[in-house]
Amino acid sequence: MRTCAACRQVRAKRSLTRVVRATDGSVAIDPTGKRAGRGTYICDQPACREPASVATAVSRALGVTLTPGSLTFEENHAAT
């Protein structure tokens, strides 16, 4: 079980998409869930996937500064 960084709902890990901050400071979506680095999770809810929500939640969780729209989610990133 993991917590969505945007809505704070606890969900199964497989229903969330992992976002990771690598050791070089770059932030990327991790569809495999296995990349090295500090990670946080975003759920499938449309409100949580809005660019402003993602930027705020990921910035807070990973300690980085993101602009809205710098991370984009495809529809099938989270496993069903």
**Cα 43 to Cα 78: distance, rounded to the nearest angstrom:** 8
User: In CATH, which of 3.40.50.2300, 3.30.1230.10, 1.10.10.10, 3.90.226.10 is domain 2-62?
Assistant: 3.30.1230.10
pLDDT digits (tens, 9 = 90+) for 44-53: 999 999 999 9
Confidence grade of residue 78 (pLDDT, cut at 50, 70, 90): very low
pLDDT digits (tens, 9 = 90+) for 25-37: 999 999 898 999 9
3-state secondary structure of 63: coil
pTM, rounded to two decimals: 0.85
* Averaged pLDDT for residues 17-30: 93
Kindly give the residue spans of alpha helices, DSSP state H, lying in the chain. Answer: 51-62
Confidence grade of residue 74 (pLDDT, cut at 50, 70, 90): low
Task: Count other Cβ atoms within 10 Å, centred on residue 64.
Answer: 15
| 39 sits in which H/E element | strand 38-42
